[in-house]
Amino acid sequence: MAKGRSLKSTKIIVLLLCLVAFSTVFAPLPSPLSNSLKPHNHHHHHQQVVNARKFEIADDMFWKDGEPFRIIGGDLHYFRTLPEYWEDRLTRAKALGLNAIQTYVPWNLHEPKEGQLDFNAIADIVSFLELCQKLDLLVMLRAGPYICAEWDLGGFPAWLLTKNPAIRLRSSDPAYLTLVDKWWGILLPKIAPLLYHKGGPIIMVQIENEFGSYGVDKDYLHHLVNLARSHLGDDLILYTTDGGTRDTLTKGTINGESVFSAVDFSTGEDPWPIFNLQKEFNTPGKSPPLSAEFYTGWLTHWGENIAKTDATSTASALEKILSRNGSAVLYMAHGGTNFGFYNGANGAQESDYLADLTSYDYDAPISESGDVDGAKFKALRRVIAKYSAVSLPPVPKNNEKTGYGRIQLEKSSSLFDILDTNVHIKAIESENPISMEAAGQMFGFLLYTSEYIANGKGSTLSIPKVHDRAQVYVTCLSKNKKERPQYVATINRWSNKPVNLPKTGCASTSKLLILVENMGRLNYGQLLFDSKGILSPVYLDGKPLLKWKMLPIPLSNLNQPKKINPVFDKPYSTFIRASTRKTLKSSLGVDLKEPGFYTGDFVVDKVTDTYMSFNGWGKGVAFVNDFNIGRFWPSFGPQCNLYVPAPVLRHGKNVLVILELESPERELVVNSVNQSDFTCGSKHTRVHRL
């Protein structure tokens, strides 16, 4: 604990007035303090109206209820942690020494379909904010509408991509602004009662996100400010966050006292020249030094080594800010998990596509599963304790994790069989392939089929633009028997090359099947308008192939109702049992690599967190008790295991279902283990930095 301040007379006056007003007394910023943090004469109004909660900026400081205040915050996203664990993770953040939580608001989570709003369960933002208040944690709300966040399409709902004519995202395009007005007209009134001066925890609301790294459109930014003010009033701090360079701050900030300009920068940089630059983009006296994204780690894409940063150097960098009365928000304090299909991706050009892992651990001080015994948590906590206004709470124990052992699976059905037999899945017909969004399939997979006459010599297939990964199959159409589809090749967005279709020897027409996976939309950069599926004509021997059918594959996403998967539905259980006994052969006599569902159950005596190890499996998606725990791809790495929080499990029998796209593990076994593992895949890759 730092020593108390020597502002005796001022503190006595404030204390007496607070007692008279029966208002809550918050701990002031501790010493050692520079003289610049002592209350100034023009703040006498704080001593006159102390019963009014107020968070403001003056004298290049934050002020909370008339006292100087330092923000020591951290990002913790409610949509990356199950609601049952919100309080657990917030308690750990508080034990780290944080006094504020920063979180994004992903529009696509709350309006997955246009006009279909969701503020329940993991989307119950109001309950999350109320929990923050219960734990005396202030909130910095990053309301978007664009958030980046390594989240699908930067938080924009994919149905925005279906608008015709196409709208210009992150711009003053009137069609786009109309939709933003409608969305914020729903969101902001929900959070307005939770503003700090109204008794809630929200001290600041962010406008857009790092817009200076994207473009120049001041009309757009001013529109968002006016819209926010119309719903939230003038007594709230609005802020922008931009990279700490003159160029990004020039493009992304909003002149005048209406909006505070915060900065972010690499953890190893000297913060104080950047904070001095920050002052140039704020009104004099309105620029408290704030690193709104102090990076505790970094993101990881599939195919890279897991990102790790040194605990000691990270803590030292934080102390450089706090030791001179600066404020910082740890990004991330707790990363969490990209459950479902909501992970984002990065890419500066078409062939530079990199999808994010299911895990969003971020090498944060609080791990994906909530562990707080790592070197980084301890190092950061030691630094924060030196500058905290209050004694830090005790550190909770790690949550228990159990390895429930070997889970034997069996192939329950081929994906193609389910699509052939399910009368509820309606094909969409079109002369040319259409995008996933146009087909109403916003996430996951879409199957494209067409027919062609084989020439007996084999053909060359090319798809100039496919997002993101297409598995190609052919089969003979025969009235007498059912041919199994033959795997031909995989066409990737990042290494797109023509493929040779084999000589099928079909006596009749051949059928082409192309299973396309949406691996996550770009969340950052100039290619943000990232539609999925086949986005160009498909060429066979140089000529466009026409007459297509598109079959949506209804796999549940993070916040979609359970029991919508055909493989889970009871009416299909008989079919699944029967299909398990089938011998899947291809008359063409090659490795099938046929996508299929694999199911197994396991018994839980004591419900705790666990991990599913997919070592030996290819690529796919996993569901535990109908909950989409995310994508696995151990053959590419680095993530081997998927985190399964205890709230997903139940006492007794639990069910694991896998959609394996490539080749299953030889013995069809998944192991439930008690720890994470990021050692899979290639070892020659390197960490990718944006």
Q: Which positions are catalytic?
A: 210, 293
What DSSP element (H or E) covers 627? strand 627-632
Chain-centroid distance, C-alpha 221? 24
Q: How far apart are CA 154 and CA 151, in angstroms?
A: 5
Structure tokens at 244: 């700490």
Q: In degrees, to the nearest 5, what angle opens at C-alpha 439 toward C-alphas 435 and 440?
A: 115
Amino acid identity of residue 396, one-letter, is P
Contact 503, 492 (CB under 8 A): no
Among candidate residues 368, 343, 335, the one with its CA nearest the CA of residue 77: 335
Q: How far apart are CA 537 and CA 522, in angstroms?
A: 22
**Radius of gyration of the chain from its Cα atoms, rounded to whole angstroms:** 27
- The contacts found for 221-227 with CB under 8 angstroms, 24 or more apart, are 221/252, 221/254, 222/254, 223/172, 223/177, 224/145, 224/180, 225/254, 225/258, 225/259, 227/180, 227/181, 227/184, 227/188
Strands 405-408 and 669-673, by their bridges, are antiparallel
Q: Looking only at Cα atoms, what is the longest distance across the chain?
A: 98
| Distant-in-sequence, close-in-space partners of 206: CB < 8 Å, separation ≥ 6 | 140, 141, 142, 143, 238, 239, 240, 241, 292
Contact 622, 556 (CB under 8 A): no
What DSSP element (H or E) covers 293? strand 290-295
Amino acid identity of residue 80, one-letter, is R
Full DSSP string of 480-529: SS-PPPEEEEEEETTB---EEEP----SS-EEEEEEEE----B-SSTT--
Contact 206, 239 (CB under 8 A): yes
Full DSSP string of 403-469: --EEEE-EEEEEHHHHHHH-TTS--EEESS--BTTTTT--SSEEEEEEEE---SS-EEEE-S-EESE
Among candidate residues 17, 65, 60, 57, the one with its CA nearest the CA of residue 37: 60
Full DSSP string of 34-65: -GGGSPPGGGHHHHH-TTS--EEEETTEEEET
Among candidate residues 153, 499, 164, 515, the one with its CA nearest the CA of residue 356: 153
Contact 154, 146 (CB under 8 A): yes
Among candidate residues 1, 94, 69, the one with its CA nearest the CA of residue 386: 1
Secondary-structure breakdown of the chain: helix, strand, coil percentages, each rounded to the nearest 5: 25, 25, 50
Chain-centroid distance, C-alpha 679? 22
3 state DSSP class of 181:
helix
Q: How far apart are CA 278 and CA 243, in angstroms?
A: 10
Half-sphere exposure of 392 toward its Cβ, with a 13 Å CA cutoff? 23
